[in-house]
Structure 1
Amino acid sequence: MPSSIVGNLFYSGPPLHVLHDEYAKRGRVDDKAPVLASTEIDIDAPIADVWRLLSDVAAWPTWNTDVGKVTLDPAVAVDAAFHWKNGPSNIRSRFAVVTPERELTWTGVSTGIRAVHRNTLEQLPAGPVRMRTEESMAAPLVGVLYPSRKLQRGLEQWLDLLKRTAEAA
């Protein structure tokens, strides 16, 4: 087996504090991570409404049934912690970027998997809001257990649910 394949299988990424400070806070995911996905969607709703839905993390379970209870310590702010459940995973996260109506990015860890999740919003001249989401996940064998295509589907569902909720408001 070539060493690059083996290296990718067992890649664990940078330590969480480095991932948080040197990746997430600088507007990037770990592009060497074995699990990567990104997608975007145009939302026909005011950017303030989209931002409110995205940044009200305690209310995520009201529009995304895959998300369980969310606990904030104490609020949505840079370096503030939050704990949440996504599907079967319990995730400990910390906000890295909180720029109202522009970007919400966090890092997280669950069962040894380290992730960066970026969400950016852009008001388009024609009216809709373009929301882009991207995520990287790294841990030994994570690409085998949770391939990029599964993460891609999850991100697409995340944006679709947010779009439907924002447009219905």
Structure 2
Amino acid sequence: MPSTRTLRATLVAVPLALAALGATAAPAGATSRPATSLTCRGEGVDPDAAVRYRTQTVIHAPLSTIWKLQTEVGRWPSWQTPVATMERLYHGPLRPGAAFRWTTPIPPNPSTPATSLTVTSTVRQMKHNACIRWTGPGVGEGLHIDGVHVWNFSKVEGGVLVRTEETHTGPQVDADVPAATKILGAGLEGWLRDLKTAAEAQYGGTSR
């Protein structure tokens, strides 16, 4: 079994797609232990997961623009720098049962070589312009994560409130919950920043 030092080093190396290492401090609205979980058609994140994070932002763009960016997964690499490759494993529009496989680089560190994390996500629940829930494993050298990810979209004055919550389970992340939670949180903050920037740029607005 890997040592605690090795596990921690592996966690720190989890790439930007799971941890877009930018904001290490969560904004005021973010929480790692919400009272109630986000859901999509009645299903939420893993209730037993120790590693969990939830955050939100308002995007000043039409809901249709935001929804298209998020659900046209084949175009993720064009606006999410951490997404190195994307393979759609389905035909037609994104829908329940659709799966997609994407990769993101993991930089080298003293305990693990440079490698790539492969994430296979499957949509479980979805409501047009309202919510998405997908699950799936992320696998890299010395690392296995099972994730559950929920997105909620709702119109508010001046834009759209986008909320997201994700849980991770697996031997490596469970070995150091605080570090894994920090990494997950940074990743979700980065994802929201990228989505906000891309949507507002398309709309012609300014990120606020």
TM-score bracket relative to the smaller structure: 0.7 to 0.9
Is the CA contact (8 Å cut-off) linking 2:41 and 2:127 kept in structure 1?
no
Alpha-carbon shift at residue 44 of structure 1 (Å) = 0.3
Q: Are 1:122 and 2:154 matched, yes or no?
A: yes
Residue segments in structure 1 that go unaligned for 5+ positions in a row: 1-22
Cα pair 1:24 1:116 within 8 Å, conserved: no
**Unpaired runs of at least 5, structure 2:** 1-38, 106-115, 203-208
Deviates more, 1:82-91 or 1:25-34: 25-34
Residue 84 of structure 1: aligned partner: 102
> How many residues end up aligned between the 2 structures?
146
CA deviation after TM superposition for structure 1 residue 155, in Å: 0.2
Which structure 2 residues correspond to residues 1-169 of structure 1 after superposition, within 5 A?
26-75=42-91, 76-87=94-105, 88-111=116-139, 112-124=144-156, 126-143=157-174, 144=176, 147-169=180-202
Question: Once the 2 structures are TM-superposed, how far is the Cα of residue 24 of structure 1 from its aligned partner?
Answer: 7.1
Q: Percent identity?
A: 32
TM-score by length of 1: 0.80
Where 2:125 maps in the other structure, the secondary structure is strand
Identify the structure with the greater helix proportion. Answer: 1
| CA-based RMSD | 1.8
- For 1:127 and 1:115, locate their aligned partners in 2 and report how far apart those are by CA, in whole Å: 32
1:149 positional shift: 1.0
TM-score, normalisation: structure 2: 0.65
Deviation digits for residues 1-26 of structure 1 (CA, Å, limit 9, x no counterpart): xxxxxxxxxxxxxxxxxxxxxx9763
